[in-house]
Amino acid sequence: MPSFFKLNKNKKFGYTPRYYDERKERMDNLKKQYGDETTTAEQRMRGKFRRPTKKTMPGIFSGATLRTFLILGILVLVVYYMLKKYQLI
């Protein structure tokens, strides 16, 4: 049946892996999960108990917090000015 529109047919994808080593995949996953085994237990523990730095723990005046305090301060000043202007204080 003729049509005004050309309908594209689905393209087939035929991929067959050449070689799969299940043991190697399992070992790679374990290495990724547990990291490099050349480090000693003492080195791993030292890294875990390290104090947080400024990079890992943001300060109180960073980003959105600073912006929020700035907007709140401006609003307080505007309200104070309006109350002072209309002599309600």
**Per-residue pLDDT at 75:** 97
Structure tokens at 81: 């000015």
Residues 39 and 48: their CA atoms lie apart, in Å, by 13
pTM: 0.35
Structure tokens at 40: 């000693």
**Per-residue pLDDT at 50:** 65
Buried b / exposed e along 20-57 (16+ C-beta atoms within 10 A):
eeeeeeeeeeeeeeeeeeeeeeeeeeeeeeeeeeeeee
pLDDT tens for residues 5-37?
Answer: 788 888 888 887 788 888 999 988 888 888 765
pLDDT tens for residues 63-80?
Answer: 788 889 999 999 999 999
Q: State how far the alpha carbon of 24 is from the alpha carbons of 8, 17, 72, 78, in Å.
A: 41, 15, 58, 67
